[in-house]
Amino acid sequence: MRQLAALLLVACGLSVCMASLDSCSLEDAKTVMKQWNKAVSLGSDSQIKLTGGRVIFTALFARAPGATALYKRLNVDDFEGPDFSGHIMRVMSGLDMLINYLDNRPTLEKLLSHMADQHAMYAGVTSGAFDLLGDVILGGLPIIIDNFDSFAWNNCLVPVMKNNTATSGREMWTPKSLVRPL
């Protein structure tokens, strides 16, 4: 349970080595932030994040059914209950925070370092788990974001997600499965 919870915080992320953050230009960062904030402002901020998080977790569990066992402590069986909903909101708030600091490199690096340290305690937070999460998130965003800029999102979100495993000493993962043709 802790494994995927940690995984989605970076999402939600959810990071790459700090040097790879260089692939996220200021223009890319502004595009991602603008598209993200437009998507999450379509209604009640908390309701949009909760609904979006439920979609992410539903897709994640569909692709990795055994992952639900990792969330027993958070009462995943009551998927819409307060325990698991609270977890989803923490994950989505973490993702929102990271995205909204893409244009502030020093703060983003501190946030990523802190999140990577948090995730280091979870043995199951692997590059493969981040790969799956990235696929789920980047696969779903074009559905809700008009004129989705896959180039900007890959340049910014993939490095943010990779940083969580890199900083915590886990193996690196390549973003090949996240790169989508323009």
* pLDDT tens per residue across span 150-161: 999 999 988 877
Residue 144 burial (10 A CB sphere; 0-12, 13-18, 19+): middle
Percent of the chain with pLDDT over 70: 70
User: What is the Cα–Cα distance from 133 to 178, expressed in whole angstroms?
Assistant: 10
Provide the pLDDT for residue 39. 86
Mean pLDDT to the nearest integer, 51-79: 88
Query: Cα separations (Å) of 99 from 2, 13, 85, 91, 127?
Result: 23, 8, 21, 12, 20
- CATH code at 2-177: 1.10.490.10
Between these two residues, 116 and 94, which has the higher pLDDT value? 94
Provide the pLDDT for residue 14. 36
For the full predicted model, state whether its pTM sits above 0.85: no
Between these two residues, 90 and 1, which has the higher pLDDT value? 90
Residue 3 predicted with pLDDT over 70: no
Between these two residues, 65 and 100, which has the higher pLDDT value? 100
Count of CA atoms in the C-beta half-sphere (13 A) of 131:
10
Of the pLDDT bands very low, low, confident and very high (cuts 50, 70, 90), residue 164 is low
Provide the pLDDT for residue 160. 79
Percent of the chain with pLDDT over 90: 30
* pLDDT tens per residue across span 11-46: 343 333 333 567 899 999 999 999 999 888 876 778
